[in-house]
């Protein structure tokens, strides 16, 4: 049974989606990041970067418990361990990792900045931040839309890269993106959200 330390955020949802798609049993431990619970010493021992999500797998690679933070590392670990949603080798694996890293480095940090600046009260700070990070967020949606114009999923068969990107696309309204402008993303999003495993991952109580 995996222990999942999380909160109901895009990075948190990536892992609950994968756990549900893999039909793995897990226990959820909410870490209320609005109350700074991510800085509690007990949580820092698992996630020294004071961010959710993190997991503990009691049955780690050497038979010993493994704790892991960074959502991308968690997705790769669970996919490899259970032999699904990440090809073992070759071009297919390289492409999934390419799009997973694209999400981790851009399609997450950039819309995350929109979420930050949109909530600021200082008009000058807010205007500059939104101008910069909304433009970059829209650029990334354009990259994804062009990719999905010729591909059913982002990299070969359905993979952890799709789940990682979905976690952030789930918050498109909050970062003021309409799928009317990115129709291929909209088609992909609807197909993924209709999957029973994805639905359970999105609806799981994480807070």
Ligand X SMILES: N[C@@H](CCC(=O)N[C@@H](CS)C(=O)NCC(=O)O)C(=O)O
**C-alpha–C-alpha distance, residues 150 and 125, integer Å:** 39
Smallest separation (angstroms) from ligand X to the CB of 129: 17
Segment lying near ligand X (by CB under 6 A), choices 18-26, 50-58, 131-139, 169-177: 50-58
Residues 160, 98 contacting (CB under 8 angstroms): no
Of positions 28, 71, 137, 159, contacts ligand X by CB under 6 A: 71
Of positions 3, 37, 70, 80, contacts ligand X by CB under 6 A: 70
CA angle in degrees (0–180, nearest 5) for 177-54-204: 60
Segment lying near ligand X (by CB under 6 A), choices 46-54, 91-99, 124-132, 133-141: 46-54
Return the DSSP state at 70: S
CA 175, 178, 181, 183 torsion-angle sign: positive
Q: Considering only CA atoms, which of 134, 136, 148 is closest in space to residue 187?
A: 148
**C-alpha–C-alpha distance, residues 159 and 155, integer Å:** 7
The encoded tokens of residue 87 equal 């090809």
Helix (DSSP H) and strand (DSSP E) numbers for the chain: 9, 4
Question: 106 or 186: whose CB is closer to ligand X?
Answer: 106
User: Is 33 one of the binding residues for ligand X (CB under 6 A)?
Assistant: yes
Of positions 4, 17, 52, 79, contacts ligand X by CB under 6 A: 52
Of positions 4, 5, 11, 165, contacts ligand X by CB under 6 A: 11
User: Is 8 one of the binding residues for ligand X (CB under 6 A)?
Assistant: no
User: Is 50 one of the binding residues for ligand X (CB under 6 A)?
Assistant: yes
User: Is 51 one of the binding residues for ligand X (CB under 6 A)?
Assistant: yes
Residues 55, 49 contacting (CB under 8 angstroms): no
Smallest separation (angstroms) from ligand X to the CB of 194: 24
Smallest separation (angstroms) from ligand X to the CB of 10: 6
Of positions 9, 28, 137, 159, contacts ligand X by CB under 6 A: 9
User: Is 28 one of the binding residues for ligand X (CB under 6 A)?
Assistant: no
Smallest separation (angstroms) from ligand X to the CB of 176: 18
Q: In Å, what is the CA distance from 90 to each residue of 17, 101, 115? A: 25, 17, 37
**C-alpha–C-alpha distance, residues 147 and 145, integer Å:** 5
User: Is 175 one of the binding residues for ligand X (CB under 6 A)?
Assistant: no
Binding site for ligand X (CB under 6 A): 9-11, 33, 38, 50-53, 70-72
């Amino acid at each position: 049974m995996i222990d999942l330390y999380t909160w109901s955020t895009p990075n948190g949802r990536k892992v609950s989606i994968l756990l549900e798609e893999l039909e793995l049993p897990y226990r959820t431990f909410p870490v209320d990041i609005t109350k700074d619970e991510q800085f509690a010493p007990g949580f820092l021992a698992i996630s020294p970067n004071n961010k959710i999500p993190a997991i503990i797998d009691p049955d780690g690679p050497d038979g010993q418990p493994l704790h892991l933070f960074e959502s991308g590392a968690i997705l790769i670990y669970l996919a490899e361990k259970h032999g699904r949603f990440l090809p073992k080798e070759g071009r297919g694996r390289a492409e999934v990792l390419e799009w997973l890293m694209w999400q981790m480095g851009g399609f997450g940090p950039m819309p995350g900045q929109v979420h930050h600046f949109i909530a600021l009260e200082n008009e000058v700070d807010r205007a500059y931040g939104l101008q910069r990070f909304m433009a970059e967020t829209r650029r990334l949606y354009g990259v994804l839309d062009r990719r999905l114009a010729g591909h059913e999923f982002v990299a070969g068969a359905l993979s952890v890269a799709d789940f990682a990107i979905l976690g952030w696309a789930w918050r498109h309204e909050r970062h003021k993106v309409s799928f009317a402008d990115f129709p291929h993303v909209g088609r992909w999003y609807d197909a993924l959200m209709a999957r029973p495993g994805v639905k359970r991952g999105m609806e799981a109580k994480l807070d």
